[in-house]
A = this chain, B = another copy of it.
């Protein structure tokens, strides 16, 4: 029952992380959180914060990493659903929308820090998204063998559209709206998929140029 010192430390570290996460909302960005607020919500003295993080920045980067992790788990889940039948596009979009709905604060964090005021944060988010695109490009190539660079361009487009849908999803509360958004996004991805096939054929006909 009694915890280790290390365990106890890890515990309050989580308390801080959760405190920060809890303060995030549609009206509150990470940059607007103060060290004192987070410490207060975690139930520790402001100065004790430094026992766990050097900076608020360090806390923030931790959050971004956690978000990336959750995203990767999400990807795996989507792949599983696809293997057991169903449209890859439809399933992926549904999975993503589900994620956004269930992790609004953390997804908002990613969206905001993507073009936020900290180079470090932007770089961190950029890495996560690049990872996302890479894996999708892999998948595209495994389904439709083609030039790597081309697959990457297609993957980038698809990820951009899905993230854009995520942005819009955050503004909607009714399930009805969200469902409409999902089908819209599915159509958009189908456009990209179909179009990329067309371009591939044309390119091949002209001689790979």
User: Chain A interface (Cβ within 8 Å of chain B)?
Assistant: 26-29, 31-32, 108, 111-112, 114-119, 122, 126, 153-154, 156-157, 160-161, 163-164, 167, 170-171, 184, 187-188, 190-196, 198-199
Contacts and interface: CB of A to CB of B under 8 A. Distances in A.
Contact of A115 (B118, B167, B194, B195): B167
A26 B113 CA distance: 12
A119 B173 CA distance: 14
A188 B192 contact: yes
Contacts of A122: 171
15 contacts: A29-B116, A108-B115, A112-B112, A112-B115, A115-B170, A154-B191, A157-B161, A160-B161, A161-B161, A190-B195, A191-B192, A191-B196, A194-B194, A194-B198, A195-B195
DSSP majority for the A interface?
helix
Nearest to A25: B117
Q: In the complex, which of the residues A27, A119, A198 has the most CB atoms of chain B within 10 Å of its own CB atom?
A: A198
Nearest to A117: B29
A123 to B, nearest CB: 9
Contacts of A126: 171
A4 B192 CA distance: 57
A160 B164 contact: yes
Contacts of A114: 167
Contacts of A192: 157, 188, 191-192, 195
The 5 closest A-B pairs by CB, nearest first: A195-B195, A191-B195, A194-B195, A160-B164, A157-B188
Contacts of A199: 187, 190-191, 194
